[in-house]
Amino acid sequence: MIGALRARLIAGGIEFALSAVVAIAALAVALIFVVASGVSPGRAASAFANGVFGTQLNLAGTLTQLVPLTMVALGWIVVFRAGRFHVGFPGQIIFGGMFVSIVALKISLPHPIHLPLAILAGMVGGAVYAVPAAWLWAKRGVNEILSTLLLNLVAVQVVAWWVRKPFHDSATPLPLTPSLPDSARWPELIPNTQLHYDIFLIPVAIAAVAFLLTRTTFGFGVRLVGANDQVARHAGLSPEAVGSQAIILSGALAGLAGSSLVLASLTPAMGEDFAGSFGFTGIAVALLARNSPIGVLPSALLFAALQQGGTVMNATVGISSSLAGFIQGLTIILVLGATTVLFLARERRRTRRAARAAGQPAVAGAAQS
């Protein structure tokens, strides 16, 4: 048992170091582009740091992005542990926000009831929009990556219609809903900033997902199906049922991200582009975190800092904000490359161990003869 624990700790340390090396390598490449643009590294670094946490407003902007990034990353981890992959988080965020707008605008309740109900509606909306992909995969064998990618396109069109027709604010020509009532919105943590009390969802969600995956029967089933679906079948589990449940749960987490984007936004109304790029960036957060719920927080903080700092760098020193997107994309590529190398090295060691174990009886038999 001690040997197994030691091996897990070593493996975890290697994966953490690998993620750190990947992040440093991506930043080093970005530094090359900064120098090539004619801006001194010191000036660029100062502008970046100021953009991330130099002022109370900038710090609030950085921390605000942690919530949707963390929720999407946790959703990816849940479905990944079940051996499934999907990219439907943008659409699930959108539907979560749409369900939130229904409860927020069509129901009048006191704040202690209205806000939790709106948050729950967001989770339900995300879960509901994950059901078609789960059903198509489990019952018809349709690849969930393809189905969720197409469902994302549908969701974009639906929300555009949503804020222009049934939920459009007639007082403005812009594609916006009416202002959501304060009873359904997260209160501000720091006055006159983007930071709201939804930031406290992060430790709760991380702890809940970590507990669910490691300390519950459902989590054991998810991990067993993800490791070997044939063994899971022999154990009496249905990989289709477990995988579908994981997809739907990941959709609920994406819907939770959508609820925060609507209920804790700087503006009280919901627009057609409220989901931003969080649905895809959150996947990169999970990959950099090595699909560990605990590792999601520092990974999300890095991506939030890149986005916030890149925006301020563009405004202050003229470095394009697209550099942040470039670093994020480069990080994904490096993570996938490093993961492949690590996997091949493990397989090579496993093959050598198996060969040595198979050769030992033959050697023993030859010695006896």
> Can you give the pTM of this predicted structure?
0.89
Q: What pLDDT is recorded for position 362?
A: 44
What are the Cα distances from residue 16, in Å, to 69, 219, 290?
19, 23, 8
Strand partners, 176: 271
Read off the pLDDT of residues 29-45 as tens digits, 9 standing for 90 and up: 777 877 777 778 788 88
Task: For residues 239 and 8, give the distance between their C-alpha atoms in angstroms, rounded to a whole number.
Answer: 26
With CA atoms as reference, report the closest residue to 209 among 256, 249, 255, 258: 249
Determine what percent of the chain is predicted with pLDDT higher than 90: 64
Residue 5: pLDDT band by 50, 70, 90 thresholds?
Answer: very low
Question: Hey, what are 276's tokens?
Answer: 């931003």
Read off the pLDDT of residues 277-289 as tens digits, 9 standing for 90 and up: 999 999 989 988 8
DSSP letter string, 185-202: SPPBSSTTSS-BGGGGHH
Domains delineated in the chain: 68-183+196-334 (1.10.3470)
Q: Which amino acid is at 209?
A: V
Residue 306: pLDDT band by 50, 70, 90 thresholds?
Answer: confident
Neighbours of 346 (CB within 10 A): 11
Q: Tell me if 25 sits within 8 A of 334, measured CB to CB.
A: yes
Reply yes or no on whether the pLDDT at 364 is more than 60. no
Nearby residues of 170 by Cβ (< 8 Å), 6 or more positions away: none
Residue 14: pLDDT band by 50, 70, 90 thresholds?
Answer: low
Q: Which amino acid is at 56?
A: Q
Read off the pLDDT of residues 184-212 as tens digits, 9 standing for 90 and up: 999 999 988 899 999 999 999 999 999 99
Q: Reduced to 3 states, what is the DSSP secondary structure of residue 276?
A: coil
